[in-house]
Amino acid sequence: MYALVVGLLHAAAVAWASAPPTLRPVTKCVVKDSATVDGMQGAIDWACNGHLDCSPIEKGGKYYDPSLRRRAEWLVNAYFWQHADNDGSCDFAGIAELWCGERGVSVDKIRGVNLGGWLVMEPWITPSMFEKPELKDQAIDEYTFAHYLGYEMAKQLLTQHWDTWYTRDDFARIKQLGLNTVRLPVGYWAFGDYPPMVANVAYVDAAAKWCDELGLGMLIDLHGAPGSQNGFDNSGRTCGDKCIVDCPPAPSWMYNDTNVDLTLKVLQKFAQRYKTARAVIGIEVLNEPRWDIDETFLKKYYASAHTVLRQHGNPAWRIVFSDSFRYNLWRGFMANDTMVNLDAHVYQAFSPDDIKQTPDGHLRQSCGFSKMIDYQNCVEKPTIVGEWSLATNDCQKYLLGYKQPPTAPDYGVKCYERFEDQFYASYARAQLHTWERGAGWFFWTAKAEDAPMWSYFEAVERGWMPRNASALADEIRTACDFSTDTRAEPLGAGHRRAPPRGWRGRW
């Protein structure tokens, strides 16, 4: 039960006596079907014992109802709207949850995979590309790959990679697995404006064509911005003091107006080029901007990007904003555009607490994230979980950067050991059970070299991931049915989840 400031609660509750608790018709707290009479009565007794003004639901009150469930529902709604900015909780007594539409498996929900390591390379996804003898360990990301080799050699090797890493057959396989959308990471250099980095927009064209032919949707994801928005290799440019080659000390995208302007121009080019592409469902304006970027600055960029895409793109597109690993920050932002979505990336592989977690703990945490997803999806924006995986530690080769060691051994985890297959199957279903509460999800990634916890294709073959994502209902219905409470603790305003892949406190 959360700590409450009684005086503030009581003052706020007085205002509630003159208005129905469900201020937003699309959002409300509902008492769970599993709530017991004792649980509901206990919640009412606690709330009315100095924490809330319960006169509106007492006999003769404006909202009195003989139904215990309805009285309990009034109270949890009153509590929620008074404290949504503090802990985002609908559930102060274990009896309620947020509800903002259809629960369960919806036919039009996004279910997809990321096409990682293709048009924006990452050493851990395709280590063979970075271990080539001619590179002499001088390439740690796409920027250094091109700069060390020079344009012509880089173009030759990259073209071979682009022609083979994903083909139409891979897109057909994605469709056969019951998935309906792909998220395509692209870089600011895609149009060839930043030599020696090599243009690859022709492969974006090919992906859009294949998706159209196969009946898949495609979300274009600007994964890398000039100067780097996060300093990770997944932005195209690694930053920090732990590189094996010279790197900029820190990402600079957010400190350079020229870089921001160039980013907006890249978005305009993508919008104009794919405005009429039938498979393209929208554009994500920037992947994983750092969690410590100034909130006002980031929201200003998002607003500018929104203007560019609405002026030059398809008016029916989704415009997707990364939540920047900050939960409970986006309430009311861009409220007038119902086609704006949030993108949350949720991993359990990078923080010390996650790495040391037990198998049972990972399952419970997966289910516990439902509180965060419900809040983001119901109160902030329709939320897509744009990246997640089956990894439980950072042992994957080069996951933290080329030639960078994992941290897992520091916490007593043996990287050569893995959990049993049954755990990964349960882990997948527990996460899917939670992500299905939102607007959809994309697994990271469709395939990777020797990385089964990160490869959707391999996870399916190992029996970890369902073979038909379009028929999940029976697979995941009981995935979070534990004998004890699995709720996650509430997260405060601006709460940041564990840092994303690639983080090692470099700066």
Q: Can you tell me whether residue 267 is helix, strand or coil?
A: helix
Q: Is residue 188 within 8 Å of 120, Cβ to Cβ? A: no
Q: How far apart are CA 471 and CA 189, in angstroms?
A: 38
Q: How far apart are CA 38 and CA 41, in angstroms?
A: 5
Task: Answer yes or no: 449 catalytic.
Answer: no
Given 73, 97, 122, 288, the catalytic residue: 288
Helix ranges (DSSP H) in 136-289: 142-149, 151-165, 168-176, 201-214, 257-274
Residue 455 CA, chain-centre distance (Å), reads 17
- How would you class 152 by CB atoms within 10 Å of its CB: exposed for 0-12, middle for 13-18, buried for 19 or more? exposed
Tell me the C-alpha to C-alpha distance, in Å, between residue 329 and each of 4, 29, 97, 496. Answer: 21, 20, 20, 10
Q: How far apart are CA 192 and CA 199, in angstroms?
A: 4
- Structure token pair of residue 7: 């005086």
Q: Is residue 473 within 8 Å of 104, Cβ to Cβ? A: yes
Q: How far apart are CA 45 and CA 54, in angstroms?
A: 10
Q: Is residue 403 within 8 Å of 244, Cβ to Cβ? A: yes
Q: Amino acid identity of 346?
A: V
Q: How far apart are CA 239 and CA 507, in angstroms?
A: 8
Strand partners, 282: 219, 318
Q: How far apart are CA 375 and CA 78, in angstroms?
A: 15
Q: How far apart are CA 215 and CA 180, in angstroms?
A: 8
Q: Around Cβ 18, how many Cβ atoms within 10 Å?
A: 8
Q: Is residue 406 within 8 Å of 365, Cβ to Cβ? A: no
Q: Can you tell me whether residue 110 is helix, strand or coil?
A: strand
- DSSP line for 353-404: HHHT--HHHHHHHHHHTHHHHHHIIIII--EEEEE--S--SS-STTTTSTTP
Task: Answer yes or no: 213 catalytic.
Answer: no
Q: Is residue 354 within 8 Å of 419, Cβ to Cβ? A: no
Residue that has been written with the tokens 């057959």 in this structure: 169
Half-sphere exposure of residue 13: CA atoms within 13 angstroms, side-chain side: 22
Q: How far apart are CA 268 and CA 235, in angstroms?
A: 19
Given 142, 284, 387, 475, the catalytic residue: 387
Residue 39 phi/psi, 5-degree rounding, is: -65, -45
Q: How far apart are CA 462 and CA 456, in angstroms?
A: 10
Enzyme catalytic residues: 288, 387
